[in-house]
Amino acid sequence: MNRFAFYRLHAITFLPVFVYSNVYGSRLIHVYEKEKYMSASAVKETLNPFEIAQKQVKTACDRLNADPAVFEILKKPQRVLEVNFPVKLDNGTVENFTGYRSQHNNAVGPYKGGVRFHPNVNMDEVKALSIWMTIKCCVAGIPYGGGKGGITLDPRNYSEAELERIARAYSEAISPLIGEKIDIPAPDVNTNGKIMSWMVDAYENVVKHSAPGVFTGKPVEFGGSLARTEATGYGVNFAAVQALEKLGKDVKGATYAIQGFGNVGYHTGYYAHKAGAKIVAVSTVDVAIYNENGLDMEAIIKEFQTKGFITNEAGYGKEISNAELLALEVDVLAPCALENQLTSENAGKVRAKIVVEGANGPTTPEADVILRQNGVLVVPDILANCGGVVVSYFEWVQNLQGYYWEFDEVQEKETVVLRRAFRDIWNLAQEYDVDLRTASYMMSIRRVEKAMKLRGWY
Ligand code: GLU
């Protein structure tokens, strides 16, 4: 749902409650809710990712008994930039695009986080995503703070030449605020190494010196790191494997459903398949495909590698709805698309044993409660998908030292970081009797609060 539809919906849903509560008092709200015109959770649940991120940070700060200054600082980004930049389109007209860069916190190190191209990109979304990056980098124990950016557009509506001009203009527009030791963007939803290369080139044209480490996720031929493209999905599957182990299950023969088959979803499926899992469902923006006997992953991998996306033209399985995919009875459900996929509306229908979040923010706090009550193990985004930024960190280190590592070396280093993060968070969750998300926030906030304290911020 886009932001406007969301606000429209809430204007409609909140208004009657407000009128009733004022005119008739709270008893009638109860009747009203009982009539199921609207469920209680629908009234309370926010889908605003910024409010959700704040809530998640607050829960962990409370559980840690942190100094109130910690939440006071972490609840807002330090700086948010909005840029509007005109770009000439192929047909000769001009479109004025809107982009953002949110810099949440740099107590631990320079701001770090992706740039997405999506029609739903807005100020609150990038703010939330930048909070999640601060937390994610500290979960992984890498020396970065959190940042995030994006441009509000649907990339499918533009030619490659137009996307290049848009990417360059955005990079130039945010260039005063980014840098190798300041803020390092990377790919996110609908962006990739090619787009990073244009952005690096545009940035270097402004600053007039070489700065390969200003963006990560670059192609290997242009200062990128081996194993970076694979890194996020590799890590998502590794998180799933570790969670399966905790439930006494082997990845061999485990069933997976993957929502979203971009770079993250694809590599999650690729590594799961390699480890012997049975991928029974995958979905793209256009289609969800299900085959209870397991999809022909060899053919799917081949199609993705040739075209960069998949279809169901080859008839991999029967077509189901996105809602049906999320409700499949599988061992692992991996939402690898966007925010707010599991909400109070559908979380009760999840029959997976494990939800491993490849996307950022796919589960709302209300859905989290329902999943926990139903015994579903959720491996949160900030832990499950942190492999991407971990290898971004390795890319940046290689850029700064001008010395490049082998594929296996990078992936082994990534594995070490991911294994340690999972183990520590699992133990913390047991110790405090909290879910893995709260434990991840707690471990992370402990790190950032120490850095802020040492800097004298509170
Ligand atoms: N966009 C990815 C994320 O959300 C990667 C960020 C990065 O590598 O800086 O974690």
Tell me the pLDDT tens digit for each residue of 63-84.
Answer: 999 999 999 999 999 999 999 9
When pLDDT is averaged across residues 410-426 and rounded to a whole number, the result is 98
Tell me the angle at which helices 123-140 and 387-401 cross, rounded to the nearest 10 degrees. Answer: 80
Q: Is 216 in the pocket of ligand 1 (CB under 6 A)?
A: yes
Helices (H) and strands (E) in the chain, counts: 17, 12
Gap between the Cα atoms of 287 and 274, Å rounded: 24
Question: Taking 90 as the threshold, does the pLDDT of residue 34 lie above it?
Answer: no
Helix (H) or strand (E) holding 88: strand 79-88
Give the tens place of pLDDT for each residue, 323-368. 999 999 999 999 999 999 999 999 999 999 999 999 999 999 999 9
Enter the tokens of residue 117.
């191209």
Question: Taking 70 as the threshold, does the pLDDT of residue 39 lie above it?
Answer: no
Q: Please tell me whether the overall predicted TM-score, pTM, comes out greater than 0.85 for this model.
A: yes
The candidate with the shortest Cα–Cα distance to 117, out of 108, 107, 104, 126, is 126
Which residues are 148's β-sheet partners?
102
Enter the tokens of residue 373.
């009550």
> How much is the pLDDT for 1?
38
Enter the tokens of residue 195.
């787009």
> pLDDT exceeding 70 applies to what percent of the chain?
91
Q: Which residues are marked as active site?
A: 148
Gap between the Cα atoms of 1 and 294, Å rounded: 31
Least confident segment among 13-27, 34-48, 123-137, 176-190: 13-27
Enter the tokens of residue 391.
């290898």
- Altogether, the residues listed in the chain come to a count of 458
Please state whether beta strands 183-187 and 318-320 pair in parallel, antiparallel, or not at all (unpaired).
unpaired
Give the tens place of pLDDT for each residue, 361-388. 999 999 999 999 999 999 999 999 999 9
When pLDDT is averaged across residues 83-93 and rounded to a whole number, the result is 98
Alpha-carbon distance values, 82 to 75, 125, 162, 184, 259 (Å): 19, 13, 21, 17, 31
Calculate how far, in angstroms, residue 117's C-alpha sits from the geometric centre of ligand 1.
13
Q: For residue 65, give every residue at least 6 positions away whose Cβ sits within 8 Å of its Cβ, in sequence order, or none.
A: none
Give the chain's mean pLDDT: 92
Calculate how far, in angstroms, residue 195's C-alpha sits from the geometric centre of ligand 1.
14
29 confidence band (pLDDT: 50, 70, 90): very low
Handedness of CA 5, 47, 379, 323 (dihedral sign): negative
Which residues are 288's β-sheet partners?
283, 320
Instruction: Specify the ligand 1 atom closest to the Cα of 184.
Output: 9
> How much is the pLDDT for 44?
74
Helix, strand or coil, per DSSP, at residue 291: coil
Helix (H) or strand (E) holding 95: strand 94-105
Question: Taking 80 as the threshold, does the pLDDT of residue 38 lie above it?
Answer: no
Instruction: Specify the ligand 1 atom closest to the Cα of 113.
Output: 9
Question: Taking 80 as the threshold, does the pLDDT of residue 40 lie above it?
Answer: no
Which DSSP string corresponds to 199-233? Answer: HHHHHHHHH-S--GGGS-S--GGGTPPTTHHHHHH
Q: Is 190 in the pocket of ligand 1 (CB under 6 A)?
A: no
The answer to whether the beta carbons of residues 414 and 390 sit under 8 Å apart is yes
Gap between the Cα atoms of 328 and 281, Å rounded: 9
Give the tens place of pLDDT for each residue, 205-217. 999 999 999 999 9
Enter the tokens of residue 18.
């407000």
Q: Is 390 in the pocket of ligand 1 (CB under 6 A)?
A: no
Task: Among 125, 196, 232, say which to mutate for ligand 1: greatest number of ligand atoms within 8 Å of CB.
Answer: 232
Of residues 408 and 17, which shows the higher confidence score? 408
Calculate how far, in angstroms, residue 175's C-alpha sits from the geometric centre of ligand 1.
19
Q: For residue 96, give every residue at least 6 positions away whose Cβ sits within 8 Å of its Cβ, in sequence order, or none.
A: 84, 85, 86, 87
> How much is the pLDDT for 27?
29
> How much is the pLDDT for 80?
98
Calculate how far, in angstroms, residue 30's C-alpha sits from the geometric centre of ligand 1.
44
Gap between the Cα atoms of 377 and 426, Å rounded: 11
The 10 Å Cβ neighbour count of residue 194 is 16
Task: Among 102, 134, 188, 229, say which to mutate for ligand 1: greatest number of ligand atoms within 8 Å of CB.
Answer: 188
Handedness of CA 178, 180, 182, 183 (dihedral sign): positive
Gap between the Cα atoms of 253 and 64, Å rounded: 39
Q: 134-153 b/e with 16+ CB inside 10 Å = b?
A: bbbbbbbbbebbbbbbbbbb
> How much is the pLDDT for 28?
30
43 confidence band (pLDDT: 50, 70, 90): low
Question: Taking 70 as the threshold, does the pLDDT of residue 36 lie above it?
Answer: no
Question: Taking 50 as the threshold, does the pLDDT of residue 13 lie above it?
Answer: no
The 10 Å Cβ neighbour count of residue 348 is 13
Give the tens place of pLDDT for each residue, 254-296. 999 999 999 999 999 999 999 999 999 999 999 999 999 999 9
Gap between the Cα atoms of 458 and 452, Å rounded: 7
DSSP summary character for residue 116:
E
Give me the half-sphere count of Cα atoms (radius 13 Å) on the Cβ side of residue 356. 33
Helix (H) or strand (E) holding 355: strand 354-356
Backbone angles phi, psi at 338, to 5 degrees: -130, -175
20 confidence band (pLDDT: 50, 70, 90): very low
Give the tens place of pLDDT for each residue, 437-455. 999 999 999 999 999 999 9
Write the residue with the smallest CA distance to atom 8 of ligand 1: 389
